[in-house]
Amino acid sequence: MNLTILGSGTCVPLLERGAPANFLQIGAQNILVDCGAGTLKQMTKAGIRYQDLDMICFTHFHPDHIDELPAILHALNWTPGFKRTKNLTLLGPKGFKTHFEKMVAPLGGVMPRPDTYQIIIKEISTVFHLAEFEIHACKTKHCLESIAYKFKTGEKSIVISGDCDYDDALIKFCNHTDLLLLDCSFIHEHKMIGHLTAKECGIIGLKAKVKKLILTHLYYEPHIESGLYDQYRLREARKNFETAILGEDFMVVGV
């Protein structure tokens, strides 16, 4: 399994950090997990063909995690010289089917339904089985529908938390995972309900005994220089998990 971080940032636009988006390659399967604004451009910069996507998974429905979906579908339908023939699976938490229809309906003729392939809409509660791997889900403390994903093949696993808060159930879900990509929105003194702090990330990594911890969904503090704030964040996380690292756009990690 290979993970490429396409967006290590948040809803707030930053030149150095894109909106949340991650690309997973598991065997022959190409999977996008969340797709905030600019994901298509980030994929292009990373040399990843959006034409080859097999599945897009969504942790929740906030705009910075899902808003690029219509643009991706529009590109798949209207790229010159390209005709998609393989189906595309869209996977999300409970309520995703309804949300998808509400999202694309106002677009009308701008994004016609494809006639050479099918868009397959699926909702996940606990586990989704595929031939080469499994996708597990765990409810998180962020919003009504938010979930974390675990991608598991053989003895290897990757957990992508999405936006979340501290939760014993999440710690259990991440137990002994090879790679945990975890929401680390702020340092602890700037804690906001519904998001993790660097201190909490370190504790989760320690308690879950994960092998590698990468911090993502990185907000900035307007009164602190961004590089300095990242130093504070990393130092705080490493008090409990010594090898924690900060995610960066276009970082590639293999498991």
pLDDT band at 115 (very low <50, low <70, confident <90, very high): confident
The structure tokens 């980030």 sit at 42
Query: Whole-angstrom Cα distance, residue 73 to residue 91?
Result: 14
> What's the pTM?
0.96
- Domain chopping of the chain, boundaries: 2-254
pLDDT digit string (tens) for 135-158? Answer: 999 999 999 999 999 999 999 999
pLDDT band at 113 (very low <50, low <70, confident <90, very high): low
For the domain 2-254, what is the CATH superfamily, name and number? Answer: Ribonuclease Z/Hydroxyacylglutathione hydrolase-like (3.60.15.10)
104: tokens are: 């694309």
- What's the pLDDT score for residue 112? 59
Q: How many CA atoms, within 13 angstroms, populate the side-chain half-sphere of residue 198? A: 25
Q: What is the mean pLDDT of residues 46-68?
A: 97
pLDDT band at 111 (very low <50, low <70, confident <90, very high): low
pLDDT band at 102 (very low <50, low <70, confident <90, very high): confident
